[in-house]
């Protein structure tokens, strides 16, 4: 019988690796989205996602090209 804690540790590591992979793809996804956001069909879920994106982008300073400190 395997130790439950070892299994949890493996799953946490797998989740961490998945998040790193997603972070590495963010720039590519942003380039794909640029200029195409108006083509997204609006429904309950996508409106919420667009709202969240807008909120997050408010923390980006276009003048300096940096994220504002929280």
Q: How confident is the model at residue 2 (pLDDT cuts 50, 70, 90)?
A: confident
The CA–CA distances, whole Å, from 19 to 16, 35, 40 equal 5, 26, 25
Same domain, 44 and 70: yes
- Residues 28 and 16 placed together within one structural domain of the fold: yes
Q: In this structure, are 43 and 29 located in the same domain?
A: no
Question: SS3 of 66, please?
Answer: strand
Residue 61 in contact with residue 67, Cβ under 8 Å? yes
Which domain covers residue 8, as residue numbers? 1-34
The predicted structure's pLDDT at residue 53:
93
Could you read off the pLDDT of 27-48 as tens digits, one per residue?
888 999 989 999 999 999 999 9
52 touches 59 (CB < 8 A): no
């Amino acid at each position: 019988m395997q130790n439950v804690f070892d299994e949890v540790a493996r799953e946490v590591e797998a989740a961490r690796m998945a998040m790193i992979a997603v972070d590495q793809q963010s720039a590519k996804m942003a380039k794909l989205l640029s200029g195409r956001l108006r083509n997204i069909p609006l429904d309950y879920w996508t409106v919420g996602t667009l709202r969240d994106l807008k909120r997050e982008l408010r923390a980006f300073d276009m003048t300096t090209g940096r994220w504002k400190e929280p």
